[in-house]
Amino acid sequence: MRKEGGVVLATERYGSAQSWKYLEKDGVIERRRDGREGETRSHSVVGFFKSVFLPQGYPDSVSDDYLQYQFWDTLQAFSSSLSGTLATQASLKGVGVGNQEATVAAATVTWLLRDGTGMLGRILFAWQKGTKLDSEAKKWRLFADVLNDIAMFMEILAPYFPTCFTLIVCTAGIFKSIVGVAGGATRAALTVHQARRDNMADISAKDGSQETLVNLAGLLVSLILIPLVTDNPVLTVSLFFLFTILHLFANYKAVRSVVMETFNEARLSIVLLRYLKDKQIFSPSQANQTEPVFLEFGKMTPIKLGVRLQDVVQSPEELSLALKENNMPFLLGIRNGCVYVCLGPEASVCDEIRAVCQALWLSDMLSHPTSREHVCPASEQQSLWKMVHESYKLMDANFDPFLKGVEAAGWDIKRTLLDWDEWRVEWKAKSS
């Protein structure tokens, strides 16, 4: 192949960022970059910043939503940095910086109490909610940022309530410790989603570089703000609310931009109920746009996955009912307004998805009184078991085409983010 200036012997590229060609000219191999000289200089500058702040192989090495998420995440980090400056100034003023009557011992005790209560809060929150941070990463990510703004607002107000100052800053310290656990854990979960070449460490490191650059910019702006807000509580609170609105808006846009291809309970519910309604399969992008990103309480009948056998059945008769028309490696039951799923040790990922599909259908039926009245004529317990049996028939008819449809739509069915507990039960049918 002959080009102007010589014969092209080979071409090479560096990901999608650079393209080079090797030319034979006068018996010598010459390496030349594709593109005009001006473009080359421009690309070299852009390439330098990409290599410093973006993962190697970008954009091929990350998920499609990476750039949009990082843009909003950067904006929220900048606004949070400025809000944090206002809160830190208020905290220092509250412990006595600039006050000749304040003692070092009193300020130290206050600081130690704040840090101590924060440590306890961190441990307790990780114990109670650690398993939820993978399956509901978007919700807890947004929750952490809202809680962080509340904690900073408390720190700004604390100096104006000197009698309750220690209590307020300790409470804010607990909130911030929860933010640290939830924010760090959900950041890790999102990094797993973004990494497409097993490059989690690189993505995490470059995210740290981006955050450091943003914090440096926030520091420079803070140097201008501090003289303006000192001894001016009205301006302090006004700027804090301005930065908080920007922070929350950017966080909402950030979590909304994430498109996860794995099923959690919310995304599976959206896709399944739409399929049962009109046989339409939502793509990951469509389902993620519909997925709720705020924590919800009491809207749906709760579902407990991977429970003990006694949570599902409490008598041999109930075990017989649970095994009726059931040849799957899981058992379902409804008790005390909750759907329980008991899983066998041999269950595959597809079995887990099907079990949750049945549980979601039962939860949806129980959450709509009109539907429940239609299927519950006489005995409450018998009617509930009748609903369980109907769920098996429904999935027998619909699950295989549903599973093929979601796989064709781009969903990853080899793994899930469903919140299973660790109980696994082997049961035997009651002998005649």
Residue 408, CA distances (Å) to 115, 195, 283, 404 in order: 51, 22, 9, 6
pLDDT at 325: 83
Residue 5 has phi, psi (to 5 degrees) of 100, -5
Q: Is residue 418 part of a domain?
A: no
Q: Which residue type sits at 32? A: R
Task: Specify the pLDDT at position 376.
Answer: 44
pLDDT, residue 101, reads 53
Q: Do 283 and 165 sit in the same domain of this protein?
A: no
Among residues 406, 110, 169, 77, the alpha carbon closest in space to that of 267 is found at 406
- Fill in the DSSP letter of residue 160: G
pLDDT score, position 407? 96
Shared domain for 112 and 230, answered yes or no, is yes
Same-domain check for residues 78 and 160:
yes
One domain, residues 382 and 251: no
What is the tens place of the pLDDT at every residue in 299-356? 678 999 999 999 999 888 999 999 988 899 999 999 988 999 999 999 999 999 999 9
In a domain, 124, yes or no: yes
| 297/336 same-domain check | yes
Q: Is 422 within a domain?
A: no
Statement to judge: residues 286 and 322 lie in one domain: yes
pLDDT for residue 374: 47
Domain-embedded: residue 15: yes
Q: Is the CB of residue 61 less than 8 Å from the CB of residue 197? A: yes
The tally of CA atoms less than 13 A away on the side-chain side of residue 84 is 14
Shared domain for 75 and 173, answered yes or no, is yes
Q: Are residues 242 and 327 in the same domain?
A: no
Is residue 79 domain-resident?
yes
Q: Would residue 413 count as lying in a domain?
A: no
**Spans of the chain, pLDDT less than 50:** 37-38, 371-378, 430-432
- DSSP designation for 307: -
Q: Provide the domain count of the chain.
A: 3
Strand 338-343 versus strand 303-305 pairing type = parallel
- The answer to whether residues 144 and 185 touch, using CB atoms and an 8 Å cutoff, is no
What is the predicted pLDDT for the residue at 94? 63
Check which CATH number belongs to the domain holding 70 and give it.
Answer: 1.20.1250
The whole domain housing 39 covers 2-53
Q: Which of 257, 284, 302 is the last residue of a domain?
A: 257
The answer to whether residues 230 and 376 belong to one domain is no
pLDDT for 382 equals 85
Listed residues 257, 274, 292: the one ending a domain: 257
Answer whether residue 349 is part of any domain.
Answer: yes
Are 32 and 134 in the same domain? no
427 lies in some domain: no
> 328, 354 in Cβ contact below 8 A?
yes
What are the phi and psi torsion angles at 338 (to 5°)?
-140, 145
Residues 205 and 311 in one domain: no
| 318 and 354 part of one domain | yes
Structure tokens at 410: 């781009």
Residue 372 confidence (pLDDT): 46
- For residue 208, what are its two tokens? 């740290």
Question: Cα–Cα distance between 77 and 218 in angstroms, integer?
Answer: 9
